[in-house]
Amino acid sequence: MPPDRRAERQAALRQAIGGEGLDALLVTHLPNIRYLTGFSGSAAVLLVREDTTVLISDFRYAEQAPAEVGGAAIVEIDQRSVWERLGRVLAAQPTGRIGIESHSLTVRDAERLSGLTRTAVAPTTDLVERLRAMKSPEEVAAIRSAAGLAQDALAEVLPGIRVGQTEVEIGALLEGALRRRGSEWHPFPTIVASGARSALPHARTSQKAVAAGDLLLLDFGAQVDGYCADLTRTVVVGARADDRQRTVHELVQTAQRRAIEHLRPGMPAREGDALARDVITSRGFGDAFGHSLGHGLGLEVHEAPRLAPTSEAPLPPHAVVTVEPGVYFPGWGGIRLEDDVYLGPTGTERLSDGRTELLELV
């Protein structure tokens, strides 16, 4: 059995809460609730105080919540309203200054909370997310398993891709293979973009049919024990790659390789981004790489840290990040390569296979 880290996570959060001058934190972001308690349902609030942790959910989770949470929190189930039950909990044991997750709690629910208590309510930023950025060995193992599952699904699907198939058909084959291998869900809508549409970094998969010689960009993920993997591969369908496709692919592959080899914990995130961006810019294509190099992975597919030109924050140790440079030319297409990487104390470790060679599906 893996170690149960929920008590130490809550202890670290209590220290952060105290550092903000707060007496409690109302956690409403569901991935944060899962991280702290193990609860995986779709409706709950979590009140973390100095001496107690209380999870409040509704009738749908009357059995699931106690089973998942165990001794990590007191579980309260309300037949009518989670907010009414929160009000009773606060009335039974008044709490001082309460922090809220400003990125998660709606204005309406913040007004509800203010109506439940006479104490001050203060916005907070990323108290739990900062803890989540540093992954435990079990979390890293789950992401590695998700990446392996995703790679196996892709290996099954690639040999059957043919000219004339639509992007939607290819996406369905890939998503079916992911589910058959045990992916709990798709962490984000699968992107299948062919031909000129591959120049859309977040293209919506369409009914376009793949033509001979098209670039085919596949951006997809898997989920294991709640943890996400995120991969992108770009291939050529129905023909040998032409010179331009080979040149751009080699450039993106070189940029990605340089970043993975030199990323380190403690490095400012913008310097990590520059490892790949400088390679692309030096070849005159800086304007064609318009997004950040990568993002954190965990219970969410996009979480801290962010590898971006504007991010001064140091990369935390034990983070898991994507490394996904891309070059895009409207009317022609784009190439992106993405792998998942663990920032260990001595350097980087790929959690995905790094198989980024140019594949020609002929």
CATH number of the domain where residue 72 is located: 3.40.350.10
Asked if residue 95 and residue 187 are part of one domain, the reply reads no
- Encode pLDDT of 272-324 as tens digits: 999 999 999 999 999 999 999 999 999 999 999 999 999 999 999 999 999 99
Asked if residue 187 and residue 255 are part of one domain, the reply reads yes
Asked if residue 113 and residue 147 are part of one domain, the reply reads no
Asked if residue 174 and residue 156 are part of one domain, the reply reads yes
> Is residue 351 in a domain?
yes
Query: What number is the average pLDDT over the span 43-64?
Result: 97
Q: What is the enclosing helix (H) or strand (E) of 275?
A: helix 269-282
Asked if residue 323 and residue 223 are part of one domain, the reply reads yes
Last residue of a domain, one of 132, 155, 189: 132
- Encode pLDDT of 78-135 as tens digits: 988 999 999 999 999 888 899 999 999 998 898 888 888 877 899 999 999 999 999 9
Contacts of 205 (CB under 8 A, 6+ apart): 167, 168, 171, 189, 190, 191, 192, 193
Which pLDDT does position 72 carry in this prediction? Answer: 98
> Is residue 270 in a domain?
yes
> Is residue 1 in a domain?
no
Asked if residue 300 and residue 173 are part of one domain, the reply reads yes
Asked if residue 274 and residue 338 are part of one domain, the reply reads yes
> Is residue 307 in a domain?
yes
Closest CA to 227 of 151, 140, 349: 140
Q: What is the mean pLDDT of the chain?
A: 96
> Is residue 122 in a domain?
yes
Number of domains forming the structure of the chain = 2
Which pLDDT does position 114 carry in this prediction? Answer: 84
- Encode pLDDT of 201-254 as tens digits: 999 999 999 999 999 999 999 999 999 999 999 999 999 999 999 999 999 999
Q: What is the enclosing helix (H) or strand (E) of 192?
A: strand 191-194
Using an 8 Å Cβ cutoff, are 231 and 219 in contact? yes
Per-residue pLDDT band at 2 (split at 50, 70, 90)? confident
Last residue of a domain, one of 109, 132, 155: 132
Asked if residue 20 and residue 164 are part of one domain, the reply reads no
Domain that residue 89 falls in: 6-132
The percent of residues in the chain predicted with pLDDT above 70, rounded, is 100
Asked if residue 115 and residue 198 are part of one domain, the reply reads no
Q: Which of 89-98, 134-143, 160-169, 323-332 has the lowest mean pLDDT?
A: 89-98
Which pLDDT does position 119 carry in this prediction? Answer: 79
Residue 182, domain CATH:
3.90.230.10
The SS3 assignment for 6 reads: helix
CA dist 114 and 191 (Å) reads: 42
> Is residue 194 in a domain?
yes
For the whole model, what pTM was predicted? 0.96
Asked if residue 197 and residue 75 are part of one domain, the reply reads no
Asked if residue 150 and residue 55 are part of one domain, the reply reads no
> Is residue 145 in a domain?
yes
Last residue of a domain, one of 117, 132, 147: 132
Using an 8 Å Cβ cutoff, are 134 and 151 in contact? no
Query: What number is the average pLDDT over the span 153-166?
Result: 98
Which pLDDT does position 346 carry in this prediction? Answer: 81
CA dist 332 and 155 (Å) reads: 26
Asked if residue 103 and residue 52 are part of one domain, the reply reads yes
